[in-house]
Amino acid sequence: MADLDDDALPKPRRRGPRHPWRFVAAICVTGLALTLLSSWAAARADRNTEERLLEVQTKQAAAVLSTTVLIIQQPLRTTLAAQAAAPAAERAAFQHVMSVQVGDGETSLFVAASLWRRTDDGFRLVASRGSDPWLVPRSEQTGAILERALTSPTSVVDRLQRGERARIIYALADPTTGFVVLTERTIRDDRRSRVESDSAFSGIHYAIYLGHRTDLDSLTTTDVDPADLPLDGLTSRAEVPFGDTVLTVVTEPRYHLGSSLSQRLPLILFIGGLVLTAAAALVAFRLLWARAGAEANTATITSLYERVDTLYEEQRALSVRLQRSLLPHAHPRIPGMEVASQYVAGARGVDIGGDWYSAIPVGDDGFAFVVGDVSGHGVDAVAVMAQARFTLRAYLLDGHAPEQALEKCSRQLDIMQDEHMTTAVVGVGDTRTGEVRLASAGHPPPVLVADGRAELVETRTGPPLGIGPASYRSVTVRLDAGATLLLYTDGLVERRGESIDVGLERLCDAVRALGNEPVDALVGDGVSSLRHQDASDDIAVLALRRTP
């Protein structure tokens, strides 16, 4: 904001107010309090987003670990199944299964494996494979583990320690036949493991422990120096069933998981608040001194009010730019599809809203899209919008169907904590067939424009996100060549005192008349013709057209 020009003001005929600093100090204190509150709210929202994103990545890592557990246990189950089917060929079946699983290299599952059978006087070693087994016949430790396996409803998992070296023991028994398969798997001496850049663990530091305890004695593997354990700061924990015990996974983010804007938003708000507070204090101080000469020159008062109005317009423009910075600056190229969009801020108020849209390619021939609307306005609404947007985007990129992405996201948002609920329509399409699968969480229905017709898509609308875990159902529509699917937020169709059905009918009529225009013109002209000049709600529109 430009400083007020003293030379342009008439000289006051009387002295200024006696105590101007009291009023200026009150403005500074109020502005500083609001600045600190908004920065704290943004930091809290960013922290909550980080916690939930870390929880999502931890669950993904736990799912990968569950798959590894199944891979480890499968040879034991296969061996027992073979023994039950052909007990006379017990050695041959065991050697056939374990020949590819036992070895000295890092790619081998086990370093040693053995097959035992219960007899009247104990256990008899039937067959073995591998070198240097730690569990040998007739030892009390071996007998105890074999006895546990025969009485356990699942596999038995234990840890053996020899000096600095450690192994994990797996035992699985068939009480019907009396066979027990016993395997040994090494744990690296330094407990360190390498993380692939495209793995489920690429964004996190992790430590995996055998059992519920998280001390160094229970550690099996980690990607950090064991001397730096336990992980502290922002962490998440998950337990994966592993035989008669569990694997406990503790994770910590390697870097900021959310957007760079959400990380910097508290600092932006803090600096911006200080600047606005200083500007407001300066304006207030000058207004107080100008008041003494207001009677002599009323034009001075008019000029000051015009400049105050400019401040509000600049603040509103800043809010709109902040909202737009969270939306895609350009759509990705999707072969076979034309994509257009538009965002229009509400005509009133300076608070930013939570409307958004997103279109992303998935694989070679697929694409996905989301249009959503967070209730209310302000920084908290934008924080919820960012969380919902990036959460849904992550699930869609992972290959989840629209109804699955909404169902998983419904577990991440909570109106009791966020004080906002979210509506969204999610779609996944195939550019080869033109088929689009849609699911809705309390969002207005899309419009399908084809062959001179514009019709609402009858989605199976589920509850909005944020009111608790929910399930959703999808519908499938087909985009023929030249057909357009139009998605929008309720600011485009809702008007005060009017039924929503009237607004939807008005939308279909307008789109039907513009159906032959290029997709960019369809969006632009449609928004211009439907938007009410006094509308207070934001508008987000996304259109996808299948090219011939």
Beta-bridge mates of residue 343: 540
> Do 125 and 247 reside in the same domain of the chain?
no
d(CA 19, CA 22): 6
Number of other residues whose CB lies within 10 A of the CB of residue 309: 10
Collect all residues with Cβ–Cβ distance below 8 Å to 361 and sequence separation of at least 6.
332, 333, 334, 367
Q: Which two tokens stand for residue 465?
A: 């996100």
**Residue that finishes a domain, picked among 212, 234, 253:** 253
The verdict on residue 94 lying in a domain is: yes
1 falls within a domain: no
CB 168 within 8 Å of CB 243:
no
Could you give the count of Cα atoms lying within 13 Å of 63 in the half-sphere of its Cβ?
8
End residue of a domain, out of 150, 171, 187: 187
DSSP per position, 11-77:
PPSS---S-HHHHHHHHHHHHHHHHHHHHHHHHHHHHHHHHHHHHHHHHHHHHHHHHHHHHHHHHHH
**How many angstroms separate the CA atoms of 21 and 33, rounded?**
18
User: Using alpha carbons only, what angle is made at residue 87 by residues 83 and 92, rounded to the nearest 5 degrees?
Assistant: 70
Establish if 80 belongs to a structural domain: no
- What length is written for the chain? 548
pTM over 0.85: no
Task: Tell me the C-alpha distance between 432 and 478, whole Å.
Answer: 11
Report the run of H or E that residue 285 belongs to, with start and end: helix 260-291
Residue 152 lies in a domain: yes
- pLDDT at residue 325 in the model: 61
Supply 490's token pair: 């309720």
Total domains, the chain: 4
**Is 311 in the same domain as 331?**
no
CATH number at residue 98: 3.30.450
Q: Is residue 74 part of a domain?
A: no
**269 falls within a domain:** yes
DSSP code of residue 10: P
- Residue 266 has a pLDDT of 86
CB-neighbour burial class of residue 366 (10 A; exposed 0-12, middle 13-18, buried 19+): middle
pLDDT tens string, the chain, 548 residues long: the values are 444 444 444 444 445 555 667 877 888 888 888 888 888 988 888 889 888 998 988 898 888 888 888 888 888 888 888 777 766 666 787 888 888 888 887 678 898 999 989 988 889 888 888 888 888 888 888 889 999 999 999 999 999 888 888 889 999 998 888 899 999 988 888 888 765 555 666 788 889 999 999 888 889 888 888 888 898 889 999 999 988 899 999 999 988 888 888 888 888 988 988 898 888 878 877 777 766 555 555 655 566 556 656 655 665 565 556 556 667 777 889 999 999 999 987 755 545 778 999 999 998 899 999 999 998 887 788 889 889 999 999 999 999 999 999 999 999 999 988 889 999 999 999 999 999 999 999 999 999 999 889 999 999 999 999 999 999 999 999 999 999 999 999 989 988 888 999 999 999 999 999 888 999 999 999 998 888 776 778 899 999 999 98
Examine the domain organization and report whether 221 and 265 are in the same domain: no
Same domain, 212 and 167: no
403 and 333 co-located in one domain: yes
* Burial bucket for residue 53 (CB in 10 Å: 0-12, 13-18, 19+): buried
- Residue 251 phi, psi dihedral angles, 5° rounding: -125, 160
- Is 79 inside any structural domain? no
Tokens 């006696």 correspond to: 18
33 shares its domain with 179: no
In a shared domain, residues 94 and 223: no
pLDDT at site 443: 95
Q: Which stretch of DSSP H or E encloses residue 239?
A: strand 236-242
Whether residue 82 contacts residue 96, with contact meaning beta carbons closer than 8 Å, is answered with yes
Is 179 found in the same domain as 218? no
Q: Which three-class secondary structure state does DSSP give residue 548? A: coil
74/65 Cα distance (integer angstroms): 14
pLDDT of residue 12: 46
How many angstroms separate the CA atoms of 370 and 393, rounded? 8
Residues 420 and 384 sit within 8 Å (Cβ to Cβ)? yes
Checking phi first, is residue 192 left (phi over 0); if not, alpha (psi -120 to 50) or beta? beta
Domain residues for the domain of 17 are 6-50+259-322
Query: Does the N-terminal peptide bond of residue 469 adopt cis geometry, omega within 30 degrees of 0?
Result: no
425 burial level (CB within 10 Å; 0-12, 13-18, 19+): buried
SS (H, E, C) 491-502: HHCCCCCCCHHH
Pairing label, strands 474-478, 435-441: antiparallel
Radius of gyration of the chain (CA): 33
Taking residue 281's Cβ as centre, other Cβ atoms within 10 Å add up to 19
**Are 485 and 403 found together in one domain?**
yes
Q: Helix (H, G, I), strand (E, B), or coil: what is residue 402?
A: helix
Q: Are residues 317 and 330 in the same domain?
A: no
Return the closest-CA partner of residue 145 out of 167, 177, 164: 167
Domain end marker among 135, 165, 187: 187
Q: Are 172 and 150 in contact (CB under 8 A)?
A: no
What is the C-alpha to C-alpha distance for residues 150 and 148, in angstroms, rounded to an integer? Answer: 6
238-250 b/e (C-beta count within 10 Å ≥ 16 → b): bebebbebbbbbb
Query: 10 and 152: one domain?
Result: no
274 membership: H or E segment, kind and range: helix 260-291
Bridge partners, residue 361, by sequence: 367
With tokens 């699955």, the residue in question is 404
| 76 assigned to some structural domain | no
DSSP string, 442-484: SPPPPEEEETTEEEE----EEPPBTSS-----EEEEE--TT-E
Task: Identify the CATH number of the domain in which residue 467 sits.
Answer: 3.60.40.10
498 shares its domain with 376:
yes
In angstroms, the Cα distances linking 498 to 349, 488, 494, 504, 512 are 22, 18, 7, 11, 22
